[in-house]
Homo-oligomer: A and B are copies of this chain.
Amino acid sequence: MSEHALRAEKLDAGDELAALRDRFVLDDVVYLDGNSLGALPVHVPALVDDVVRRQWGELRIRSWQESGWWTAPERIGDRIATLVGAAPGQIVVGDSTSVNVFKALVAAVRMAGEDRDEILVDATAFPSDTYIAESAARLTGRALRPVIPSDVPGVLSGRTAAVLLNHVDYRTGRLHDLPALTAAVRAAGAVSVWDLCHSAGALPVGLDEHGVDLAIGCTYKYLNGGPGSPAYLYVRTGLQDRFDSPLPGWNSHAEPFGMRPAYAPAPGALHGRVGTPDILSMLALEAALEVWDGVSMDAVRAKSLALTDFFLECVTAYAPPGTVESLTPEAHAERGSQVALRCPTAVDVMPRLIERGVVGDFRHPDLLRFGFTPLYVGFADTERAARVLGEVLG
């Protein structure tokens, strides 16, 4: 057994989260794509079957009340709140991430007031955020300015209405400094909007603690909600009265079944709802979140860093010199839960890794991306992934 394989064995033996792996359906593949689609928790299929057969099939329309369908967006929002450091009553689940970016940015601009005419958008953001930010800017008559996150403090001004930032860079895995950037945005009198897609469920976020204004995120990566499961929107309590949604659907009405011709917003986070919630996907997500019961996000973060440290070490040991270069920051404070390796032959390498049971993903034009989900990835998996990579590159 190699030195690294021995190390992996010891690290797995000392892993306090190791038993969580049994909460997921996994096979002999090393699944390092949980930052794209989280694995299936073992108890979810039975719950979904109950939702379909009994709640829909037998109770039908009665389930809106009797099965708790109507209140699912805010109930599940409160469950997610515990994972991102938010008190209850500030998160609702529903719609896609892109739709929530739109709600958040338009509402942010409206909160900032008429005299602030510029939206800053993370120039390294997932492209959809930029496309939607362009639309929000166009519809609200603001200018859009792409900025590298670290440059934001120098660019903020009395013109800045809102700042949309990605907490973790989807390409490189770089973790941005949410506390400092949020404070800077606030000091400039602007509204902060954070995209948590690549951080929620992977590391502590601390939305309330750091005074984040608005946040959005998906639930199908580290939260394991299932393919295309609904996204969420966080509006901090102090801003909820001023949250003026561009998508004021009937579910956000103060009296949704009053069928009033005039719109009147529901109080609090409910105001972020739009149309009828997508129940099958939403309740699958709710069940999936049960795997977090009793799990400490600090322990998740510690294991995540240990995994990515170990992976980088093994890659250095196994990959022929010069074949790959890590884009993931060395410093823990700047690292999310993934490793991105630049590799000129990445487009060919990833399918060969997948063939050999190591599933990561390829990102155009030359990136190998490996996501480390501390709930179900172990150190032996990590050593094997690096070893197979070394063989493929050798």
A residues lining the B interface (CB < 8 Å)? 25, 27, 31, 33, 36-37, 39-40, 44-45, 48-49, 52-53, 55-58, 60-61, 63-64, 69, 94-99, 102, 106, 123, 126-128, 130-132, 134-135, 139-140, 146, 171, 218, 220, 226-231, 245-251, 253, 257-261, 263, 274-282, 284, 359, 361, 363-364
Q: Which of B49, B55, B359 contacts A61 (CB 8 A)?
A: B359
- Nearest CB in chain B: distance from A252 CB, A: 8
| Residue among A39, A60, A227, A251 with max Cβ neighbours from chain B (10 Å) | A227
Contacting residues, chain B, for A249 (C-beta < 8 A): 96, 98-99, 128, 131-132
Q: Roughly how many angstroms separate A251 CA and B253 CA in the complex, as a whole number?
A: 29
Instruction: Judge whether B45 and A228 touch: CB under 8 Å.
Output: no
In the assembled complex, the Cα of A353 lies from the Cα of B139 at a distance in Å of 48
- Measured between beta carbons, the chain B residues less than 8 angstroms from A140 are 139
For A53, what are the chain B residues with a Cβ–Cβ distance below 8 Å?
A: 25, 40, 45
Cα–Cα, bound, A284→B231 (Å)? 19
Q: Are B278 and A228 in contact (CB under 8 A)?
A: yes
Shortest distance between the CB of A305 and any CB in chain B (Å): 24
Contacts of A228 in B (CB 8 A): 69, 276-280, 282
- Whether the pair A276, B36 counts as a contact (CB closer than 8 A) is no
Question: Which 5 A-B pairs give the minimum distances between C-beta atoms?
Answer: A96-B275, A98-B249, A128-B250, A227-B279, A98-B275
